[in-house]
Amino acid sequence: MNRNELNQRKFGSKQKDLSEEYVSHDGKRAVPEGLRKFLDLDAELTKNFTSFMQSKLPNITKSETKFMEISGSGYIWLPVCAILYFMHPLVPKQLPINLIMAFVLDIVVIGLLKAFARRRRPPTRNPDFFKSIGPDQFSFPSGHASRTILIAFIFSLINPFFDIGYLNFGVSLLLWGWSLTVCLSRILNGRHYLFDVLVGATIGFVEGYLVSFLWMSPERAENILNFFSDEAPEI
């Protein structure tokens, strides 16, 4: 028996298992060879990056990184919109209406991309705090990354908390720092690969620019509220 046959016997089963990792959940679609190599590289870089960060930041606990990723969850921010709406007139109704519009855009974009890509999440024994349903069970792209970048974009560039420059600058630093930390937490907790987060963050920036053009004035937001709240005419 020659060397090639020995290697085939020795590593054949492992190669088969590796290829099965890149078949979609329904088992009907295999990933092309070139893309599979890229995904392998992404997985290796993610593993090395996680090991590096854990060695440089040994005091960061799982509970801290889990808290950060929870803070960027859509399960948190959608109820926040409802709370802001009922805080009128302290908070203008324009803000929650625009936030809902932005989040719906993000949900649609990320959901469609996840349903199309169907990339499996990294293998981890640490389950997500909120149960993933539908397309959200897939890894690419990161919805936490797109959402937190979008939020930071809105509150630092579109609708700042303060009119005073230095106050807005300080809040913006906190927002972008929070967004970066949430993105890192998704990698360190084994929820996403590096490429998932990078693409998700890029999508968040693009969505932010799009939302800046779609941002509704107080009058327009009020008109939309009146449209949905008006009673149907009696016949």
Instruction: Check 119, 144, 147, 191 and give the catalytic one.
Output: 144
> Is 192 labeled as catalytic in the residue annotation?
yes
The pLDDT value given to residue 99: 95
Rounded average pLDDT over 169-181? 95
Q: Is the peptide bond before 96 cis (omega within 30 degrees of 0)?
A: no
Contact 200, 141 (CB under 8 A): yes
The domain limits of the chain are 61-220
Q: Looking at residue 125, what is its pLDDT?
A: 52
pLDDT, tens digit, 9 for 90 and up, residues 178-199: 999 999 999 998 899 999 999 9
Burial tier of 137 (Cβ tally within 10 Å: 0-12, 13-18, 19+): middle
63-107 tens-digit pLDDT: 788 889 889 988 899 999 999 988 878 888 899 999 999 999 999
Digit-coded pLDDT (tens) for 195-215: 999 999 999 999 999 999 999
Residue 85: per-residue pLDDT: 87
Which of 150, 192, 195, 211 is labelled catalytic?
Answer: 192
